[in-house]
A and B are shown apart, each in its own frame.
Chain A
Amino acid sequence: GQQVMQIPQYQHVQEGEDFTTYCNSSTTLSNIQWYKQRPGGHPVFLIQLVKSGEVKKQKRLTFQFGEAKKNSSLHITATQTTDVGTYFCASNSGYALNFGKGTSLLVTP
Chain B
Amino acid sequence: ETGVTQTPRHLVMGMTNKKSLKCEQHLGHNAMYWYKQSAKKPLELMFVYSLEERVENNSVPSRFSPECPNSSHLFLHLHTLQPEDSALYLCASSRIVATNEKLFFGSGTQLSVL
Contact = CB atoms under 8 A, between A and B. Distances in A.
A99 B42 contact: yes
Nearest to B56: A96
B48 A42 contact: no
Interface string B75-114: 0000000000000001000000111111111111000000
B59 to A, nearest CB: 11
Contact of B45 (A42, A45, A97): A97
Contact of A95 (B56, B90, B105, B107): B56
Given A42-B2, A42-B90, A96-B48, A88 B43 contact: yes
Nearest to A91: B99
B103 A97 contact: yes
B107 A41 contact: yes
A101 B39 CA distance: 10
B46 to A, nearest CB: 11
B55 A95 contact: yes
A109 interface: no
A39 B105 CA distance: 15
A11 B100 CA distance: 28
Contacts of A94: 99
A103 B98 CA distance: 26
Contacts of A35: 103
6 contacts: A42-B105, A45-B104, A48-B102, A95-B48, A95-B98, A101-B40
Interface of B: 2, 40-43, 45, 48, 55-56, 58, 90, 97-108
